C-alpha cells in the first residue's frame, strides 16, 4: 500500500533527477553536443537535405558576365606596404587553451585571443552577449568585432578580407596573433551524404619557415595545431581570407604599416576583388574564387555582377553548409529581383539550419518584398528568438515599421 501511494513521487523524481543533473555545467557541455547531433540526424532522415542546388538561371558566359559593371577597378592590387625582413620562425606565447562548447568556436577562439592581452573571461562570457542560445551555429566576424568594441574597449579591433600568408607572418613578427575564419572538416554525420564541411575559427600564434607551417590554437582540435602554408591558404580562401586583428592602441601604427593600403576598407575590398578575379582566371573551376568575387562585388553593391559570380560558384558546386556562414548570394539575388533563386537558397539553408537568425531575416526580407509584411515580421521575430542578443533583428524589424 505504501508503495502504491508513493509511486507518483518516485515517478516525478525519476523525471526531475535527470533534468537537474543535466543543468550541471560540465554534464550539459558533454551531453548538449550529442543531443543536438541526434536531433539533426533524426530531422535529416525525416526531411533529407541535398547539396546546395544550382541556380535557376544558367549563364551561357559566366566569365564575361561576372565582371564588375559599376566602377572600373585596377587590374592589379593597390600598393601594399613594403614588407620588412622576417625572422625564419616566430612563436608567440600561446594563451590558455579553451575547448569550445557546442557551436562555440567563435567565442572560444576570441576568448583565447583576448587572453593573450590579459583578459580574464572565457567563451561563455562572450557567447552570453553574442549568442546566448547554444544551438546558434554561426557567429559572424562583425558580431565578434562588436563584442570587442563594446566589452573590451581598451583593445582595438578590425577585420579585413583578402589576407595572405606573408601578411600573417608579418603580424606574428610584430607580436600580434591573427584570428581567421576558414573551412574545416568535422567528421560527425549530421546528414545523409554529409560532406562534413563547416566554418571554423582559428587563432594563429606562430610560424616556422623551416617546416613551412603555421601554429594555431584550435578550439575543437586542441592547442598548438600545425598546418602547412599552402593547405592553410586553401582552407582560408573558402572564407575570402577574412581575418580579425585585436591589438593594443599603441600598436596601431605597426598595424597600419603592415596593412598599407588595406588599412582602408574600400582599398582592402578592391585588392580582395582583384585577387578573386585573378584566381577565377587562373582556375575557372574554383568555386570559392567565384564565391569570393561575388562577396567583394556585393561590398561595392555591384549586385548584377555578384549574382553572376555566385551563379558560377553554385554551378561548380559548394558545400552543403556554405550559406550557414556567408550571405552574399542573398544580397545579390534580393537586389536583382531574382526572388525565385532567393527563395531557393533560403529554403535550402533553413533545411540545413532551421534556427539561422541570418537566413530567417532574409526570409523576412523576401516576404516583405513579396508584399507580406506580417509574414516578414513573424520571421524577424523567429530570428530574434534564435538569438535574443542579435545585432541584426532590431534593424530588420525597424525596416518594416515594427518595434525591435
Q: Domain holding 124: CATH number?
A: 3.90.70.10
* 38 and 157 share one domain: no
Does residue 392 lie in a domain region? no
What number is the average pLDDT over the span 112-128?
Answer: 98
* 7 and 94 share one domain: no
* 257 and 109 share one domain: yes
| Prediction pTM value | 0.88
Task: Provide the pLDDT confidence category of residue 189 given band limits of 50, 70 and 90.
Answer: confident
Does residue 290 lie in a domain region? no
Q: Output the nine-digit C-alpha cell for 256.
A: 597600419
Residue 72 pLDDT > 60, yes or no? no
* 34 and 173 share one domain: no
Does residue 351 lie in a domain region? no
Does residue 36 lie in a domain region? yes
pLDDT for 327-350, tens place per residue?
Answer: 999 999 999 999 999 999 999 999
* 144 and 195 share one domain: yes
Residue 66 pLDDT > 50, yes or no? no
* 38 and 94 share one domain: no
DSSP 69-95: -SS---SSPPP-PPPPP--SEEEPPPP
What number is the average pLDDT over the span 112-125?
Answer: 98
| Among 375, 352, 351, CA closest to 363 | 375
* 37 and 157 share one domain: no
Q: Identify the pLDDT of residue 367.
A: 98
Q: Which residue's entry shows cell 562570457? A: 125
* 34 and 93 share one domain: no
* 224 and 173 share one domain: yes
* 41 and 131 share one domain: no
Q: Identify the pLDDT of residue 42.
A: 63
Does residue 130 lie in a domain region? yes
CA pair distance 216, 87, nearest whole angstrom:
18
Task: Provide the pLDDT confidence category of residue 31 given band limits of 50, 70 and 90.
Answer: low
CA pair distance 381, 368, nearest whole angstrom:
14
Residue 239 pLDDT > 80, yes or no? yes
CA pair distance 357, 363, nearest whole angstrom:
10
Asked if residues 69 and 304 have their Cβ atoms less than 8 Å apart, the reply is: yes
CA pair distance 13, 294, nearest whole angstrom:
57
CA-CA distances (angstroms) from residue 47 to 37, 44, 354? Answer: 15, 5, 12
Does residue 214 lie in a domain region? yes
Contacts of 140 (CB under 8 A, 6+ apart): 325, 358
Asked if residues 271 and 162 have their Cβ atoms less than 8 Å apart, the reply is: yes
- Could you report how far apart the first and last alpha carbons of the chain are, in Å? 58
Q: Identify the pLDDT of residue 49.
A: 80
Q: Identify the pLDDT of residue 64.
A: 35
Does residue 370 lie in a domain region? no
pLDDT for 254-304, tens place per residue?
Answer: 999 999 999 999 999 999 999 999 999 999 999 999 999 999 999 999 999
The SS3 call for residue 1 is coil
Q: Identify the pLDDT of residue 37.
A: 59
Q: Identify the pLDDT of residue 395.
A: 97
Q: Which of 242, 263, 284 is the last residue of a domain?
A: 263
| 21-35, 67-81, 274-288: range with lowest mean pLDDT | 67-81
Average pLDDT in the chain: 89
* 254 and 160 share one domain: yes
Q: Which of 219, 244, 263 is the last residue of a domain?
A: 263
Task: Provide the pLDDT confidence category of residue 24 given band limits of 50, 70 and 90.
Answer: low
* 17 and 128 share one domain: no
Q: Which of 263, 290, 308 is the last residue of a domain?
A: 263
CA pair distance 190, 187, nearest whole angstrom:
9
Q: Identify the pLDDT of residue 199.
A: 98
Does residue 226 lie in a domain region? yes
The structural domain count of the chain equals 2
CA-CA distances (angstroms) from residue 347 to 27, 53, 134, 343? Answer: 34, 11, 22, 6
Q: Identify the pLDDT of residue 193.
A: 85
Its domain, for residue 20, covers: 2-46
Q: Identify the pLDDT of residue 223.
A: 98
Q: Identify the pLDDT of residue 187.
A: 81
DSSP state of 96: P
Amino acid at each position: 500500500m505504501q508503495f502504491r501511494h508513493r509511486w507518483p513521487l518516485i515517478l516525478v523524481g525519476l523525471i526531475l533527477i535527470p533534468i537537474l543533473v543535466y543543468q550541471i555545467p560540465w554534464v550539459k557541455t558533454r551531453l548538449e553536443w550529442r543531443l543536438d547531433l541526434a536531433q539533426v540526424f533524426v530531422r535529416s532522415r525525416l526531411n533529407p537535405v541535398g547539396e546546395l542546388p544550382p541556380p535557376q538561371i544558367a549563364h551561357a558566359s559566366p566569365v564575361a558576365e561576372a565582371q564588375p559593371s559599376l566602377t572600373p577597378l585596377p587590374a592589379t592590387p593597390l600598393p601594399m606596404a613594403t614588407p620588412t625582413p622576417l625572422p625564419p620562425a616566430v612563436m608567440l606565447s600561446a594563451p590558455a587553451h579553451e575547448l569550445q562548447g557546442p557551436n562555440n568556436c567563435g567565442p572560444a577562439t576570441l576568448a583565447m585571443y583576448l587572453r593573450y592581452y590579459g583578459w580574464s573571461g572565457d567563451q561563455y562570457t562572450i557567447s552570453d552577449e553574442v549568442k546566448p542560445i547554444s544551438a546558434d551555429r554561426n557567429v559572424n566576424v562583425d558580431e565578434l568585432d562588436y563584442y570587442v568594441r563594446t566589452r573590451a574597449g581598451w583593445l582595438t579591433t578590425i577585420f579585413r578580407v583578402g589576407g595572405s600568408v606573408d601578411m600573417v607572418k608579418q603580424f606574428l613578427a610584430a607580436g600580434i596573433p591573427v584570428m581567421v575564419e576558414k573551412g574545416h572538416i568535422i567528421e560527425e554525420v549530421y546528414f545523409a551524404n554529409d560532406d562534413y564541411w563547416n566554418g571554423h575559427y582559428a587563432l594563429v600564434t606562430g610560424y616556422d619557415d623551416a617546416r613551412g607551417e603555421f601554429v594555431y590554437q584550435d578550439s575543437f582540435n586542441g592547442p598548438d595545431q600545425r598546418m602547412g602554408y599552402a593547405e592553410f591558404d586553401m582552407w582560408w580562401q573558402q572564407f575570402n581570407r577574412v581575418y580579425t586583428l585585436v591589438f593594443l592602441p599603441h600598436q596601431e601604427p605597426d598595424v597600419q604599416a603592415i596593412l598599407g593600403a588595406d588599412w582602408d576598407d574600400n582599398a582592402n575590398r578592391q585588392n580582395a576583388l582583384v585577387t578573386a578575379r585573378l584566381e577565377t582566371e587562373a582556375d575557372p573551376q574554383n568555386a570559392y574564387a567565384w564565391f569570393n568575387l561575388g562577396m567583394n562585388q556585393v561590398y561595392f553593391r555591384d549586385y548584377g555582377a555578384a549574382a553572376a559570380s555566385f551563379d558560377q560558384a553554385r554551378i561548380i558546386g559548394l558545400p552543403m553548409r556554405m550559406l550557414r556562414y556567408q550571405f552574399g548570394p542573398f544580397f545579390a539575388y534580393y537586389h536583382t529581383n531574382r526572388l525565385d533563386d532567393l527563395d531557393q537558397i533560403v529554403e535550402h539553408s533553413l533545411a540545413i539550419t532551421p534556427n539561422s537568425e541570418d537566413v530567417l531575416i532574409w526570409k523576412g526580407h523576401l516576404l516583405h518584398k513579396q508584399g507580406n509584411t506580417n509574414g516578414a515580421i513573424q520571421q524577424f521575430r523567429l530570428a530574434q528568438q534564435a538569438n535574443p542578443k542579435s545585432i541584426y533583428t532590431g534593424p530588420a524589424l525597424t525596416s518594416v515599421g515594427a518595434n525591435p
